[in-house]
Amino acid sequence: MGEGWDSTATLVGGRWVERRPKRAEVEALLRREAAVLPWLAPLLPLPVPVPRLVSADPFVARHELVPGGELTTLNAVQGKQLGEFLLALHAVPAADAVAHGVGPAPVPLDRFRAEVLPLVPDQADLLDAIEAAPADTLVHGDLGPEHVLGRDGVLTGVIDFGDVHVGDAAIDLAWALHSTPPEFADAVAATYGVTDGLRERSLLWHRIGPWYEVLHGNDNGKPEIAAEGLAGVRKRSSWF
């Protein structure tokens, strides 16, 4: 099935997905998913993984395959579905999420200021705005086309909750409002009831996305990834 920044995924028997951390610190994220998603899944209108631990050493988590594949086209029906999904997710009381082990996810602002900002010194205001964003909502935290599944023109599931945390609701709207066709984005916004403030903050989160890519490249000795991230930082800054 492939791998992401943090974990690998292997399809077993055509039915089960086994995930393994690529780094020691990622194990805690997968453990959190296994603790949170069995509680959260019944509250959501689309299927999500419901993992369980099958091995402690080496660490392996397994869940039933969520149907569908990565989206290749986007339409208004899917946008409405995603808006409904986010309404349900964001309506979950943050206190309940905290009781199930979900906490905040601090943005690495010190590293952004040290490693990225010197290359784009005109974007200090972006970091100040992100620092001031609210953190009062249960969010997926990494909602993009690789984590929203579909088939035959409808959505079939949402995967990869490794970044789930209590944060700003606008982070989950960043991709949906700013990197999708108008018919999809408009349906998300109408269904969710996006306010001007949410829309403005979602653009901030969309702009900050490539900053993480720069850090990822730096951390893993991959200057080409850092360069791609920096190009994204500059491109998205031109939208503001």
Average confidence (pLDDT) over 49-75: 91
Residue 20 banded pLDDT, cuts 50, 70, 90: confident
Q: State how far the Cα of 100 lies from the Cα of 140, in Å rounded to an integer.
A: 15
Among 9-23, 105-119, 185-199, the range scoring the smallest mean pLDDT is 9-23
Cite the residue boundaries of each domain of the chain with CATH code 3.30.200.20. Answer: 2-64
Give the three-class secondary structure for 218. Answer: helix
* pLDDT > 90? residue 154: yes
> pLDDT tens, 93-126?
999 999 999 999 999 999 999 999 999 999 999 9
Given this model, what pLDDT does residue 57 score? Answer: 83
Average confidence (pLDDT) over 140-153: 96
Q: To the nearest whole percent, how much of the chain has pLDDT over 70?
A: 97
Cite the residue boundaries of each domain of the chain with CATH code 3.90.1200.10. Answer: 69-237
| pTM: predicted TM-score of the whole model, two decimal places | 0.92
Given this model, what pLDDT does residue 3 score? Answer: 59
Q: To the nearest whole percent, how much of the chain has pLDDT over 90?
A: 80
Q: Which residue has the tokens 């091995």?
A: 55
Q: What is the CATH number of domain 2-64?
A: 3.30.200.20
DSSP run (H or E) holding 150: strand 148-151
Average confidence (pLDDT) over 199-210: 97
Alpha carbon separation from 218 to 7, 104, 117, 184 (Å, rounded): 18, 24, 14, 34
Average confidence (pLDDT) over 216-235: 95
Q: What is the CATH number of domain 69-237?
A: 3.90.1200.10
Q: State how far the Cα of 196 lies from the Cα of 92, in Å rounded to an integer.
A: 22
